[in-house]
Amino acid sequence: MSRDTGFALRGEVLHAEGVPLSRIAQGVGTPTYVYSASSLRAAARRFRAALSPIPRLSLAFAVKANPSLAVLSVLRDERFGADIVSGGELTAALAAGMDASSIVYSGVGKTPEELAQALRAGVGHINLEGEHEGEVLAATAVRLGLGATALLRINPNVDAGTHAKITTGTSDSKFGVPLADAIGIYDRLARRRGLTLHGIAVHIGSQIMDLAPLEAAYRRIGELVAALRARGHRITHVDLGGGLGVDYRDGPDGDVAAYGAMVARVTQDWDVTLMVEPGRYIAAHAGVLLTRVLWVKPGEECPFVVIDAGMNDLARPALYDAWHEFAAVTPNGATMQAHVVGPVCESSDRFAKARLIDRVREGDLAILRDVGAYGASMASCYNSRALVAEVMVEGDRYAVIAPRIDAAAIRPQVVPDWLEAHALDHAA
């Protein structure tokens, strides 16, 4: 593994920092997500250094990428706030010790109860996705006797050039308000009692490698900032979102140094605090999914390597045809061409198709790489499978940060009385 991720061969065994992955498998079982604290810290510091030319900067981690309290705690220590999209993520950020004032609440479907929760917690900024949301937020703030500080999210109609399912800045996207309507909406919301609007927000998508769409979106935002100020509005903050991508095949990641230079150049005359919210760039390489080979099943084209991790544990390949490298924990230098599949009863439960991989046998340990973002955060109990365990490694020690939980424990169920009676009648 050539990239500096915190995961490397030591002798004949793949390690997470100083811990053999085989030891984690023995102690925790499989499948299990394993995170490297040093990799998280390195990425966070690299991102901050790249944006250091910006005079007023606020960084927040996109919690949807990985809401683990341990992950959030590492990033809290790196002076990151939290970008959240639900009341549950707000609870997680606060539980990890993040200051409420460093939290920005995004997301297109906040409920009135979640807006009230955010106000009571003292969340620093709420990104409004529509005019009516702003009206509800203002009324809620007045009712609670609190102030609401907000930004208006703009849809700049810029195609991010990424996967269609993670593009959020085009005119047919559900996110933000159209650029053409922004001034009128801002004017009206700015007059609402209980609501303090002090800027605008934009986010055009995820896994962006080409900076040109980002620059185009930011330039449109800069023009809007000038237009709003010309109308007498005080603009102190602009949220640029996140979206910088990583490479999943050992190529170069999105150029964070070039990104920082572009942001500094485009925004140099804005005179605002810039808010930036990376997620994938910080966490993706910091995690692997540790799994065990159940069977090697013959196939017409090539064999099927059936592993105990499934699409319920890692959904990205099924959702996006995403690539994750498959590697043996104790490689012997031999290779094989195989399909890598999971145990879930869906044809889409496939991690690799006719791919050249390390040769593995039944019972061998293996990993799926670069799953620290949008891995465990998207896991489910489909097929009534247990919710996957998670482990954090630092140096030569590790800890279980999320235990494996049986599906029945996560979602307790009951049978209605009348069905119980019906069953007794049949038994009689």
- What is the SS3 assignment for 408? helix
The answer to whether 113 is annotated as binding is no
The answer to whether 219 is annotated as binding is no
The Cα–Cα gap between 27 and 178 comes to 52
Total residue length of the chain: 428
- What is the SS3 assignment for 67? coil
The token pair at 141 is 């703030």
The answer to whether 11 is annotated as binding is no
The answer to whether 346 is annotated as binding is yes
The answer to whether 320 is annotated as binding is yes
The answer to whether 382 is annotated as binding is no
The answer to whether 231 is annotated as binding is no
Q: Where are the beta strands (DSSP E) in 81-187?
A: 81-84, 103-105, 125-128, 148-155, 177-178
Q: Closest by alpha carbon to 281, among 48, 14, 56? A: 48
The answer to whether 188 is annotated as binding is no
Q: Closest by alpha carbon to 283, among 33, 94, 32, 35? A: 35
The answer to whether 50 and 256 have CB atoms below 8 angstroms apart is yes
The Cα–Cα gap between 78 and 97 comes to 12
- What is the SS3 assignment for 240? coil
Measured in degrees and rounded to the nearest 5, phi and psi for residue 407 equal -55, -40
The answer to whether 374 is annotated as binding is yes
Q: Which residues are catalytic?
A: 345
Per the annotation, where are the binding residues for substrate? 280, 316, 320, 346, 374
Per the annotation, where are the binding residues for pyridoxal 5'-phosphate? 243, 277-280, 374
Per the annotation, where are the binding residues? 243, 277-280, 316, 320, 346, 374
